[in-house]
């Protein structure tokens, strides 16, 4: 069925075509923003799309700031803008460079692996970067018995479950407030209500929720599973925007949120009006840049992660945000 657009969406489509702007939207954006995007995906998929943006005069990134920073790192020639500059991920914000340096002093010589959900200054301090889909492989690739890891403690628990490497948290409190809302009781009661469902949990959920799920994986893995499975009902434990996107893509399947108040307020700061403002005015305050000295090191550790996963820099991935 052809997509029907509202007045604001039509204005955006017209502006982005005239001004040759590439619009990238994260899976957790509202559907009206996903609909006007050139590409919708997880943070690394979007960053990789940004690396193919040479034909565009600018990138508009509807996601949180650390994601837009990744686009700026992988596509330094094309200016990157964010619709609302206050869209900051609290998980990324909890781990600053000084915290990492303090842990390095406490554990000299122990390599640092950071989750992609970190600021550029935190990534600059790391030896390796990982996604939720690659965390175990990345940790094991180092060939050491101890690793400093962060900032998400639930993802760290997931890694501990699959490796004998000792994982030391870079931040003992680090978590995503959206995924941390899921608990075992709500998960079990939804499973009891839909016994034939396939339950999928994101690895940023608490470990007891992950343990109770049929599958644990990134948003990319969720999309693949729902598309390929013969099951008719899926329980999804992640941010609501992803659940809505899956339901729209698979109208014949029942896609049910485990918790329908799991909404990322930071992602939802973006609106169609704010996108129009950027496309009309390109305000300097909405431009996302990364200090030049960070860029070579972050590109190197991204390439290291790609090597571990046997992927080139623009290969499709099944990893989260």
Query: Interface residues with ligand SF4 (CB under 6 A)?
Result: 28, 64, 89-91, 117, 176-178, 239, 264, 266-267, 321
Helices (H), the chain: 7-19, 31-36, 43-50, 65-74, 90-93, 97-106, 120-124, 135-141, 153-162, 184-193, 207-212, 219-228, 240-249, 272-281, 295-308
- Residue (19 or 268) nearer to ligand SF4, CB: 268
Min dist. Cβ of residue 143 to ligand SF4 (A)? 29
Min dist. Cβ of residue 267 to ligand SF4 (A)? 6
Parallel/antiparallel/unpaired status of strands 166-169 and 146-150: parallel
- Residue (64 or 129) nearer to ligand SF4, CB: 64
- Residue (28 or 81) nearer to ligand SF4, CB: 28
The H or E element that residue 41 is part of is strand 39-41
**Cα gap 61→166, rounded to integer Å:** 36
- Residue (64 or 199) nearer to ligand SF4, CB: 64
Min dist. Cβ of residue 178 to ligand SF4 (A)? 4
Cβ-contact 312, 33 below 8 angstroms? no
Cβ-contact 245, 227 below 8 angstroms? no
Task: Please report how the helices 65-74 and 295-308 are oriented relative to each other, as an axis angle in degrees rounded to 10.
Answer: 90
Min dist. Cβ of residue 73 to ligand SF4 (A)? 18
Q: Could you check whether the bond before residue 124 is cis, i.e. omega within 30 degrees of 0?
A: no
262's CB contacts (< 8 A; 6+ apart) are 178, 179, 181, 182, 237, 238, 239, 240
- Residue (11 or 149) nearer to ligand SF4, CB: 149
Q: How far is CA 13 from the centre of its chain?
A: 25
- Of the candidates 3, 4, 49, which has an alpha carbon nearest to the alpha carbon of residue 26? 49
- Residue (239 or 318) nearer to ligand SF4, CB: 239
Min dist. Cβ of residue 312 to ligand SF4 (A)? 26
- Residue (89 or 165) nearer to ligand SF4, CB: 89
Min dist. Cβ of residue 152 to ligand SF4 (A)? 8
Min dist. Cβ of residue 144 to ligand SF4 (A)? 27
């Amino acid at each position: 069925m052809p997509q029907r657009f509202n007045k604001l969406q039509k204005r955006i489509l017209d502006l982005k075509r005239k001004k040759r702007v590439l619009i990238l939207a994260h899976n957790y954006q509202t559907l009206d923003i996903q609909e006007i995007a050139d590409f919708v995906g997880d943070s690394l998929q979007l960053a990789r799309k940004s690396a193919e943006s040479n034909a565009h005069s600018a990138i508009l990134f509807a996601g949180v700031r650390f994601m837009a920073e990744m686009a700026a790192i992988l596509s330094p020639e094309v200016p990157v803008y964010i619709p609302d500059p206050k869209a900051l991920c609290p998980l990324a914000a909890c781990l600053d460079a000084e915290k990492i340096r303090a842990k390095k002093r406490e554990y000299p010589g122990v390599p640092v692996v950071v989750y992609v959900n970190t600021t550029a200054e935190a990534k600059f301090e790391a030896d390796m970067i990982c996604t939720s889909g690659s965390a175990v492989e990345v940790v094991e690739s180092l060939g050491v018995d101890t690793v400093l890891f962060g900032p998400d403690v639930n993802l760290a628990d997931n890694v501990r479950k699959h490796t004998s490497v000792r994982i030391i948290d870079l931040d003992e409190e680090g978590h995503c407030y959206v995924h941390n809302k899921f608990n075992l009781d709500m998960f079990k009661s939804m499973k009891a209500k839909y016994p034939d469902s396939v339950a999928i949990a994101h690895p940023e959920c608490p470990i007891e929720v992950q343990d109770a799920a049929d599958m644990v994986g990134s948003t990319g893995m969720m999309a693949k599973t729902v598309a390929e499975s013969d099951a008719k009902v899926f329980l999804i434990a992640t941010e609501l925007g992803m659940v809505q996107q899956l339901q729209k893509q698979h109208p014949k399947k029942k896609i049910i949120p485990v918790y329908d108040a799991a909404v990322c307020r930071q992602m939802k700061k973006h609106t169609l009006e704010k996108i129009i403002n950027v496309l009309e005015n390109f305000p300097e305050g909405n431009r996302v840049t990364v200090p030049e000295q960070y860029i070579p090191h972050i590109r190197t550790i991204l390439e290291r992660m790609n090597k571990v996963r046997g992927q080139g820099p623009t290969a499709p991935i099944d990893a989260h945000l």
